[in-house]
Amino acid sequence: MNIIYDEKNETFLLHTEKTTYGIAVVDGRYLEHMYYGASLDNADIRYLLREDENPGVPSANKRETGAFLDCAPMEFPETGMGDYRESAFCIRSMSGYRASELTYEGYAVEDGKPELEGLPATWGEKENCRTLKLFLRDRLLGARVTLLYSVFESSDAVTRSVIVENKGEEPFYIEKILSACLDMDDRGFEVLGLFGSWARERHVQRMPLGYGRQNIASFKGNSSHQEHPFMALVTPGTTQDSGEVYAMNFVYSGNFIAQAEKNQFDSVRMMMGIHPEGFTWKLEPGQCFTAPEVVMTYSSEGLGKMTRTFHDLYRNHLIRSPYLHEKRPILINNWEATYFDFDEKKLLEIAEEASELGIEMLVMDDGWFGKRSMDDSSLGDWYVNEEKLKGGLNALVENVKQTGMKFGIWVEPEMISPESELYRKHPDWAIQIPGRDITQSRAQYVLDLSREEVADEVYEMIAAVLRSADISYVKWDMNRQIATMGSSSLPDDRQGELAHRYILGVYRMQERLITDFPELLLENCASGGGRFDPGMLYYSPQIWCSDDTDAVERLAIQEGTAMLYPVSAIGAHVSVCPNHSVGRTTPFETRGDVALLGTFGYELDITKLSPEEKDLVKVQVEKYHKYNDLIREGDYYRLASAAENRYYDSWMIVEKDKSRALLFYVQVMARANAKSRFIRLAGLDPERRYEAEGKEYTGNTLMQAGIRIPAEFGDFKSRLIEIRGR
């Protein structure tokens, strides 16, 4: 962890343990990108800028600034001055001109990491983090731009953000502000992203990067089920343990764009930030705007090294929950057991049976409030329906606690039903465009959380419920995306601020929740995995991964999710078969093994299980307690992907000191006349001896030759193998 400024060469080098990031000042005014890759010493690498090649720098070539701007590797490219590639920054003046000309003014290096006002972001102390600030100014408009770069002692990550201040005498409009740009020569890159839909989120897709622009984006109001705020550029043939990877992940939960562009000179521009679609921010004199953070990492050791960098950074410098390093209670959620058809007797019946089997928390899902008996009413009416829960919430909670169980509750604070007391009282609180019908989804509208009075009233209703009983857990849901974007509280020329202000309102509410209820276990959810992103992890240590709980479908969903996020953040449950999403029947053992790669719990009516299945629940609970510390804190290695090979899936978790590991294997599709399969392990100490299933091996043998997995009769069979160092 070091930041070096070479005054003679006007260059900056940011060093992590295994990477170096280089920036140079060119012609006394432009910031250019020199290098990002494997560690370098502090030698002069300015030659990488090709400053002596045509067209040269503007001070030497008096007639050709445009050609320079259109090919130079710019650190923070702008609109309107001659760089015709995608820009990171666009300002519109009050006169209507869309251009800026940022000139380098200076720098500062600080120990630690400044907070980003109102935004989630990684954090670091003075002892383990340093930050470089680069200052630029547009003298005509009075815009002062600060580029922030932070490096960490124990991570090969670089975080980036941007702050814009209006130091001028009149307002201007920010029409585009991305948080990170990376210009470099193409090396036959391929684009890696995560795509999907509801119930099949974050499937891995890889495609060649051709000329032009390829983007991954959402302007749905959230980070979305369909596309994910992550992009990686990988060299051809990159695997889990070899090849080069350049990756970006956005610490933000709203509209985003990640884009890679290959131009006429075979250079590549990779960018990430707030999606400019519909975005405008009016910045008055004296005000500032802070862009959300991008986490960047480079790996010369394949995708696995990228994954473990993200995991460790997020565990050590993003997630703040007191539950981060704690074993989470095994919960049972009543949603797939009852849907809306429940009362206090049914919930207590589930709790009593679950407690007998070792389950530790009952979560009451949708349907407990207002007059809610279907999904067409009462969102916004956050008071207990005592016709359904006779005796009230506190009586139910105390009765559940008598079984030895904790109690959790589901809420959807961001939404409002047209059929609700709150909407009848405040119809203007819904996001809407005057004169147009509000687009309904699931018979609900979206509350305008950019307005503090709206957020405050909804928060106080929910907080009153939480104060009324001993509630240990909250599942915060968001079941639709946003349309008809308009706010009655914003003037005409600020309507483009709504999407970002909405997300800031969500962040304010969640910060208030975990501050007022510091022992609360918060789990975020958005109709399943529609808002599984680093921004949400800042407030909750776990996120519901997908509404699809089928063990086979979850293999691909959890593979893509675990590519970026610690497995302790993945909400994963055992559900009933035939599965409610796909109708598939899988062995109860396999459902349990797949759900172990996550927070672990149950999504079923436990009172209807057979005696054999109840015995298996006890076995699964025992496995969870035996292995969760390792799964939660260990290093994750992806060994095989059923999405690629169609037949089997495998991953493992290795203790940080390499003393123990856990191998997961799922035979997805059985094959006729098939022999056993050898799975080569990863992450072990090659010199150490290990015991697995009664046999002894060296770590080198297990990693080079592999462990033998017999072929089984039947589909969807799983194996869990503990590997212990001697």
Q: Any idea which residues carry the catalytic annotation? A: 477, 547
Taking the CA atoms of the chain, what radius of gyration do you get in angstroms? Answer: 27
What whole-number distance in Å separates Cα of residue 658 and Cα of residue 624? 20
Q: Residues 625, 630, 631, CA angle at the centre, nearest 5°?
A: 85
Report whether 298 contacts 123 (CB < 8 A): no
What whole-number distance in Å separates Cα of residue 537 and Cα of residue 545? 12
Judging by beta carbons within 10 Å of its beta carbon (0-12, 13-18, 19+), is residue 433 exposed, middle or buried?
middle
How crowded is residue 411: how many other Cβ atoms within 10 Å of its Cβ? 21
Handedness of CA 94, 98, 103, 104 (dihedral sign): positive
Phi first, then psi, for residue 286 (nearest 5°) are 90, -10
Long-range contacts of 56-63 (CB under 8 A, 24+ apart): 57/26, 57/27, 58/27, 59/27, 59/28
Phi first, then psi, for residue 642 (nearest 5°) are -65, -25
What whole-number distance in Å separates Cα of residue 131 and Cα of residue 122? 12
DSSP 137: E
Structure token pair of residue 487: 């706010």
Q: How far is CA 472 from CA 440, 466, 469, 521, in A?
A: 33, 9, 9, 6
What whole-number distance in Å separates Cα of residue 692 and Cα of residue 87? 54
What whole-number distance in Å separates Cα of residue 595 and Cα of residue 484? 38
Helix ranges (DSSP H) in 449-492: 452-467
Report whether 693 contacts 662 (CB < 8 A): no
Strand, helix or coil at 494?
A: helix
Report whether 536 contacts 565 (CB < 8 A): no
Strand, helix or coil at 305?
A: helix
Residues contacting residue 427 through CB under 8 Å, at least 6 positions apart: none
Q: Which residues pair with 13 in a beta bridge?
A: 4, 22
Q: Which residues pair with 180 in a beta bridge?
A: 272
